[in-house]
Amino acid sequence: MCGRYSQRFSAGTKVPGIDCDLPAMNPRYNTCPTQQGIIVRLNEAGEQYASLATWWFLPEWMKDPSKGQINARGETIEKKPMFRDAFRHARCLVLMDGFTEWDRSVKPSQPYFFHRKDDEGFATAGIWANRQKEDGTEELNYAVITTGPNKPMEPIHDRMPVILNERDFKTWLDPKTDIETLKSLLVPCPDDLLVAHPISRLINRPANDTPDLLRPE
């Protein structure tokens, strides 16, 4: 699973493999469900473009907002009624530069921050939907797709986000890509891509959002 992540992006930030400008936003160290993140899709010309969206996937036909989801399991995404249409027709990249997972074998649970060795941004596989809110406005929302753990993740948690290789961005976003090829991308990232360190339990509170949260304990 992925329950918190960081977006320490500032104006002009370049994420490897992303060919478009990012929308302006303040750096985020503790992005939580129902808050906004940056997703990348393709326009009609096949070009990447980035948008702010709400991390709470809720298709238009689902009437109860409380039933939104932040993650979709890659192993079953093409079969689940909530996700299957978006998996086929509304895929995106979710941009982040790290995520938090909790070791629940200790009490209280110990959060760990996972990030690239070079601390650059990366993209996870995602799906998106548009939904009309009660006030009549449209809300773009998304979910992060997860898979089983790689070796560094195994001691901490049994799920992790699908971190896509830059060479696969085009394939993932291409509306013509077949289901079998898409499914082949939903695997753990290489063991040497990420590093992790324990961080403060203050990250458990959604209201906390400062750089100190991600410093090694």
List, by residue number, the catalytic residues: 2, 101
Number of C-beta neighbours around residue 146 at 10 A: 25
Report the C-alpha gap between 92 and 94 in whole angstroms: 6
132 φ/ψ angles, rounded to the nearest 5 degrees:
-85, 125
By the 8 A CB rule, do 106 and 179 touch?
no
List, in sequence order, every residue forming a beta bridge with 125; answer none if it has no partner.
Answer: 93
How far apart, in Å, are the Cα atoms of 87 and each of 23, 121, 141, 142?
24, 23, 14, 11
* Distance from C-alpha of 65 to C-alpha of 199, rounded to nearest angstrom: 32
| Of residues 130, 127, 147, the one with CA closest to residue 2 | 147
